[in-house]
Every structure is written in structure tokens, then in C-alpha cells.
Amino acid sequence: MKILLTGPTGFVGSAFTRLALSRGHQVAGLVIPSESVPADLPPGKDLLWLRGTLTEAPWAAIEEFAPDVCLHTAWITTPGIYLESPENVKFKNDSLEFLSRVHDLGTNYIFSLGTCVEYHITNEPLSEDRTPVDPTTTYARCKNELRLEMETKAAARGFGFCWGRVFYPYGPREHPSRLCSSIIEKLNRNEKIVLKTPKSTKDYIYIEDLAEALLTLLDKQYRGTINLGTGIGLSVVEIAQTLGTMMGKPQLIEEANPPQIDPLGFVVADVSRLRGLGWKPAHDLQQGLHALLAAKS
């Protein structure tokens, strides 16, 4: 399969690229001119690096590559900034134009990544067909608007379209400010960690399991919206205590008293659709955190 990939140097995109290449697929990754490519992913017969942006893409090279499918992962994800950044609006508009052009060139299956916080968050698992969509941040609203416009285009033009709502990926190469990595860094400095929202529960999916899910959906050319999580909720305190024990520093983990209220206190996927396609996670929390620790050692 020939895969056109946006965001190939990102956390999700680079993990997907490694997996896709290991399975014998060809990948053409769209890399912005200012970014360097991962050192362990040199160009070769199955990996082509294309320099450009969503608005100034190397269309002649893309047409020559003739992708069978397009996986769109590029978006603003800078921690502390991305949720309300005006860049979200630009990414939505640029993505719509780019993906429409990709289809015009003959690619009849497009897969774009959304976010779990498009949903109305409750204390129940989030379901594609039962949970209302109620995005409350600029990031989530723009993602959802892209989904709606792409679904309309797909229906009118007859191409396949998949929208994958990503939950909480973690693992090697993640941003240092993400939960697991930030805890590890503080424990390495022997800092006491006071958990402000210890009971906050999210669906954390190991990055290689997420990459496997993406490839499964591309292989099957799944159409429609689908959750990309594990279906298992893990609390902040559970993750922190597990890392504290692994690193021999459980005494450094404390819970705030009283704890703060997390408005996104329970964000866990109903993954019936994904599991129905034969996918299941290969890593539990212990295995995922061991891999993350090993990558940081």
C-alpha cells in the first residue's frame, strides 16, 4: 500500500511510519521545510520525504507517488497552547483544501485524526453512535468542523473517509510535558510530586498500539468515525504510583488534599468498533511504562 502521510515527524506520525515500513508498505511523508527528519528513518525505496506544507505541497511529487491512501495527522499540538490557538482555524481550512486536492489527484481513501474531546464528556465510556458531540475548545471545534465538511465531500464525491478520534497516547518520543514523562523527569530529580487531580481518569493508549490501530483501519479502509483508545480508564494516581514503584521512589508521590476538580475527569473510549475489526492493545500499563522508562535511560 502506498501511503501519503502528513505530520510524519510528529509523535503519532513517526510511530506510524516505523510500523508501516516494517509491514512492507511505502510511505511518502510531507515534511515542512524547517523540520529535520528522524535519524532512524533515512529515505529509501519505501520511504520518500516530501518537502512542503499543506498550503504549498509538492503536488507534482505527490502525483508521481500516486498514493493509494492518505493519513492526515498534521495539526498544532504544542502543550499549553494548542487548545485555544488561532492556528487551529488555519489548520482546519488548510486541511480541507489539501485533502480535497489529494482526492482530486486520484486518492480514493482519506483518513484524518480527530480528538476524544469532541465529545460531550460524562462519567460514561464515550461511544461513536451514542455520545453527543459537544466540542468546547477551539481545537476540538475545528477538528469537528473538518470532520463534518470532509464527510459531506466524501458523500458527494464517493470516496472513502475515516475519522479517528484519538484518546491519550503515551510512550517513547512523547513530549516531555506529557503526564508520564513529566512524572519521570520529576522523580529523576527526586522532586516530591503532589497530584492535583489524582482521580482524573483517561484512556491512555501506548503509541505503538495506536500505530497498529491506524494501520488496521487503513488496511481495511474503514469508513466512518471510530474511537482510538483502549477502553480502559487509568487514573493519574495509578500511573504516578506505578512509576514511583518502578523507579523505587513511591514516597515522592502524594495526593493533593483537597484535590482539584478536573472538568475532563473521565475520558474513556467505548472501543467496540475498533475491537470488532480484530485490533487489541499489545501493551498494558506496566509494559508501556517500562518501555518509556527504557527509552529515557
Give domain 171-202+232-267+283-296's CATH number out of 3.90.25.10, 3.30.1950.10, 3.40.190.10, 1.20.1290.10.
3.90.25.10
The pLDDT value recorded for residue 297 is 84
The pLDDT value recorded for residue 182 is 97
Start-end ranges of CATH 3.90.25.10 in the chain? 171-202+232-267+283-296
Q: Which fold has domain 2-169+205-228?
A: Rossmann fold (3.40.50)
What pTM value is reported for the model?
A: 0.96
Q: How far apart are the first and last CA of the chain?
A: 35
Would you say 133 and 79 are in contact if contact means Cβ atoms under 8 Å apart?
Answer: no
Angstrom distance (rounded) from CA 175 to CA 182: 9
The pLDDT value recorded for residue 42 is 87
Per-residue model confidence as pLDDT tens digits over 130-155: 999 999 999 999 999 999 999 999 99
Start-end ranges of CATH 3.40.50.720 in the chain? 2-169+205-228
